[in-house]
A = this chain, B = another copy of it.
């Protein structure tokens, strides 16, 4: 591929608390605010605790999942004072950090999340974005304390529902396992390292360093699997202990996936795929026991900042 010239990345937003019970991002953001980290070299930094009501309530959200509100349709829907808090908040955030798809949007938006699944550190992104792929490769090369992976959601950006889609470039950093409502120092340190590596990369990029192209492995979402349920919709099984904590370990036909409460083992029947978000707390209500992905190789070109 050709070498690409990319405009400078001079504004970045670091967001946390989009889900109010995922605490790592909240405390990363609050500490940056306390330290008044609003500029690092050539990069201006906006830090936002995005769902303060849910944070105060100690819940994922108060009326609707904020991180499902950033589609074009929802961002342009009329709101009144009786609209769900999170829908109104999404439009506020879009005005502050976007508007999504516009020239005014922040150059890079990073939203910090946690999961109860054993996923290590994952970047989640939508389109095949060279900047995200370069930063992903950089973080993966530099961090040794945790497996670093990426997940691509193949959704048009207009339908992309999560906050990071508001930036010109953007990704979520999803780290686990961490229980909701709990803050672990090891995970705090991992996320801080990933944020610091990203900020350092942005500065070097803006200063004119060129980055070689290459390839990187990432996972692409294929489908979700729900828990077995009874006629009333109640779950009748837990994730099997052979699958629990084994996110990103290839699942093959015949592998155990559920254990019913009466002790029966239920097995996987399907094509070889990689499970992730295995036993994520918030997904019981979304009827998702785990997602399945393919692993793919993504190519990206050499890049360098575009001169004025």
Contact = CB atoms under 8 A, between A and B. Distances in A.
Nearest to A234: B30
A186 B244 contact: yes
Interface of A: 27, 30-31, 34-35, 116, 177, 179-186, 188-189, 235, 238-241, 244, 259, 261-262, 279, 281-282, 284
Contacts of A279: 182-184
A235 B116 CA distance: 22
Contacts of A188: 238, 259, 261
Counting every copy of the chain, the complex holds: 2
Contacts of A180: 179-181, 281
Contacts of A284: 181
A262 B184 contact: no
A185 B35 contact: no
Given A185-B244, A188-B259, 15 more contacts: A177-B179, A179-B179, A180-B180, A181-B281, A181-B282, A183-B279, A184-B238, A184-B239, A184-B241, A184-B244, A184-B279, A185-B240, A185-B241, A186-B241, A186-B244
A10 to B, nearest CB: 27
A259 B184 CA distance: 10
A31 B239 contact: no
A239 B187 CA distance: 11
Contacts of A31: 261-262
Closest 4 CB pairs of A and B: A179-B179, A31-B261, A185-B238, A185-B241
A259 B284 CA distance: 33
Most-contacted residue by chain B among A182, A186, A189 (CB, 10 A): A182
A259 B188 CA distance: 10
A180 B116 CA distance: 10
A239 B185 contact: yes
A235 B181 CA distance: 13
A88 to B, nearest CB: 24
A13 B236 CA distance: 23
Contacts of A35: 262
Contact of A182 (B27, B189, B259, B281): B281
Nearest to A177: B179
Contacts of A177: 179
7 contacts: A116-B179, A179-B180, A180-B180, A180-B281, A182-B279, A183-B235, A185-B259
Contacts of A235: 183
Contacts of A259: 185, 188-189
Contacts of A262: 31, 34-35
A98 to B, nearest CB: 29
A140 B186 CA distance: 31
Contacts of A241: 184-186, 189
Given A188-B238, A238-B188, A241-B189, A27 B261 contact: yes
